[in-house]
A and B are shown apart, each in its own frame.
Chain A
Amino acid sequence: MVENRGLNYWLTHVGLSFGVLVLFFPLWLAFVASTVTNSEVIHPPMPLWPGDQFFVNYGRALIEGDSGQTSASVARMLLNTVTVALGIAVGKIVISFTSAFAIVYFRFPARKFFFWIIFLTLMLPVEVRILPTYEVVAGFGMLNTYSGLIFPLIASATATFLFRQFFMTVPDEIVEAARIDGARPMQFFIDILIPISRTNIAALFLIMFIYGWNQYLWPLLMTTDPSMNTIIMGVEQMIGGQDDVTPWPVVMAASMMAMLPPIIVVISMQNLFIRGLTDSDK
């Protein structure tokens, strides 16, 4: 039903505006807190309008972090997180795309078995297998490295399954037409399969990038060197222990900056993302 006149029109807007306000308010408070001095934050009442410390706080967060106590500078952590999130997103797509390709387009012994093994790993997220994973990564000497942060997270049953479902909707005739045109499997893969999957790839990239960005437990466990911290765990580490004075405005500035890249990625890719989830370009 589309109703766009009279009272309903206003009621829907009031309802939506109220929802936006409720969701937005904490963000607003965080932003306000990042623009005032620490004493203003600590002593009630909490200010509701931005102060004049914006550049001071953001500059300090970006360059110094929490003055080198337990975490690196935000700039460093952002760099780490972007690297890790990109690595996870790209790695997941490459691995799941190729394994879905193998499972859908090749008849090899125990194909079903391999598919179900991949599927089974859905039940084993990082949190469940975290100790053995740590053991393996430590054994390879990959603690405190980017590869150690990325590799354990890139195998993805979900993405494999999604690509498999998409490949199964690609008409057989297209595959056969390519065979008659003389395309070898890898030529088909590169010339045809990747281009027609691009919206799906974009959608998955977005989801996986956010997934990688938001990783907390794994980086927390395996990075001991502050210079390898990711921003999500770094923000937490900036909050001092019982004796320290937590520099709340700096922490909030770091939080705001931690939110920014995913927002930019989502906004810039949302068209592709929606197309990838709703229609396939066939």
Chain B
Amino acid sequence: MSGLILKNVKKSFGKVKVIHGIDLEVEDGEFIVIVGPSGCGKSTLLRMIAGLENVTDGDILIDNLKVNDKEPMDRNIAMVFQNYALYPHMSVFNNMAYGLKIAGLPKSEIAERVRQGAIMLELDGLLDRKPRELSGGQKQRVAMGRAIVRQPVIFLFDEPLSNLDAKLRIQMRIEIKSLQQRLGTTSLFVTHDQIEAMTLADRMVVMNEGVAEQIGSPMDVFQKPETVFAAQFIGSPAMNIIKAVSERQSLKLVNGTSLKCLTQSNGDVLVGLRPEDLKPDKKGKIVMNVKLFEPIGASTILHGTLNNSDTKIVSVVQGLLSPKDRLSEMSFSISPEAIHLFSRDTGKRIVN
């Protein structure tokens, strides 16, 4: 049984098409992260599932029921918003209870559900406070509590962590993940942050300009990106993309360097090299003119260009480089299996 099915879902605002047809089957209890840059349609997709936007074309099924024309409240979903969207005049208790009151639940059950939710989210001491008396993290917890007490089939998260500071964001990320695992509720989580996507997702949907570029587990997407976009969006620093011409298993990069790879192809391609796959090697073939060293503690990020070309490349070197190791020209090697090949015409991964 699947919790949620999207069948060729499309959305346009007037003549502008924002979502070009998305298919997705979400397993019961799965944590799906929809990730993409701003304006890619990820929030719109979530809002369509919530019922806050109409579906232009295609079907949305929740619990095997078509819900296209149902009101949000009849869809058995709960949503957590980026700016919390708490009712400012209601106490924490009433914020969490409001949906249940409207649903007409008996008072004792409302109290019980809110109490349980509050304990789960460590809000039990705050039930009488107003939202303005809470910190950002507490507000976000109340927003989640409001979702939990409804006991929905699906949780929808619309960038819930974006308004929190960096430290709290990591903490809340872990809490959301463990909460979801404990409750086992199907969840959809929209974010523009690829690290959130990597850490939270069972499967992720990489979206770009209204198209799902790739749907797969974080490791799948990271190790076998299906498009140049997915390759560059997931992973930090982003994957280096270099123009090249291939002939069977040998590649000639834009600056004339030759590389061996495992994938067979002929013609114009794009070569993808993860910065962390570039290993410093005095005899390495890939030569980089280093412009900038960025020490980030455990490793150092090197920014520069491929020699004899103006193609920018980045590499990550373990440890801090001592000044005498900071050369203006450094060589790297890469193992053939770490090389990703993409078609230059379609941007799709080349496999064989």
Residues of A within 8 A of B (CB): 171, 173-174, 176-183, 187, 191-192, 195-196, 198, 281-282
Contacts and interface: CB of A to CB of B under 8 A. Distances in A.
A103 B67 CA distance: 28
B182 interface: no
B89 A181 contact: no
A181 B99 contact: yes
Interface stretch (B79-87, B205-213, B296-304, B327-335): B79-87
Interface stretch (B6-14, B69-77, B226-234, B282-290): B69-77
Contact of B99 (A173, A176, A180): A180
Interface of B: 50-52, 71-73, 77-79, 81-90, 98-99, 102-103, 146, 150
A180 B146 CA distance: 11
Given A182-B103, A195-B89, A173 B73 contact: no
A183 B95 CA distance: 13
Contact of B81 (A176, A187, A281): A176
Contact of A181 (B81, B83, B84, B98): B98
A181 B85 contact: no
A146 to B, nearest CB: 34
A177 B81 contact: yes
B52 A182 contact: no
A195 B94 CA distance: 13
Given A176-B52, A187-B102, A182 B73 contact: yes
Nearest to B150: A181
A247 B59 CA distance: 83
Contacts of B73: 179-182
Contact of A171 (B52, B78, B85): B85
Contact of A176 (B84, B85, B87, B102): B85
B89 A281 contact: yes
Given A173-B85, A196-B89, A180 B102 contact: no
Contacts of A176: 50, 52, 72, 79, 81, 85
Contacts of B89: 192, 195-196, 198, 281
Contacts of B52: 176, 179-180
Contacts of A195: 89-90
B88 A282 contact: yes
Contacts of A180: 50-52, 72-73, 77-79, 99
Given A180-B79, A182-B103, A281-B88, 8 more contacts: A173-B82, A173-B84, A179-B51, A180-B72, A181-B98, A181-B146, A196-B88, A198-B89
A171 B83 contact: yes
A192 B79 contact: no
18 contacts: A173-B81, A173-B82, A173-B83, A174-B85, A176-B50, A176-B79, A176-B81, A176-B85, A179-B72, A180-B78, A180-B99, A181-B73, A182-B73, A182-B102, A187-B102, A191-B98, A195-B90, A281-B89
A192 B90 CA distance: 9
A250 to B, nearest CB: 48
Contacts of B71: 179, 182
A177 B142 CA distance: 13
B102 A183 contact: yes
Nearest to B158: A173
Contacts of A171: 83, 85
A157 B254 CA distance: 68
9 tightest A-B contacts by CB? A182-B73, A173-B85, A181-B99, A177-B85, A195-B89, A173-B81, A182-B102, A180-B72, A179-B72
A187 B99 CA distance: 11
A182 B103 CA distance: 7
A79 to B, nearest CB: 35
A59 to B, nearest CB: 47
Interface centre among A173, A179, A181 (most CB of B within 10 A): A181
A213 B212 CA distance: 64
A214 to B, nearest CB: 32
A171 B121 CA distance: 25
A174 B78 contact: no
Contacts of B90: 195
B85 to A, nearest CB: 4
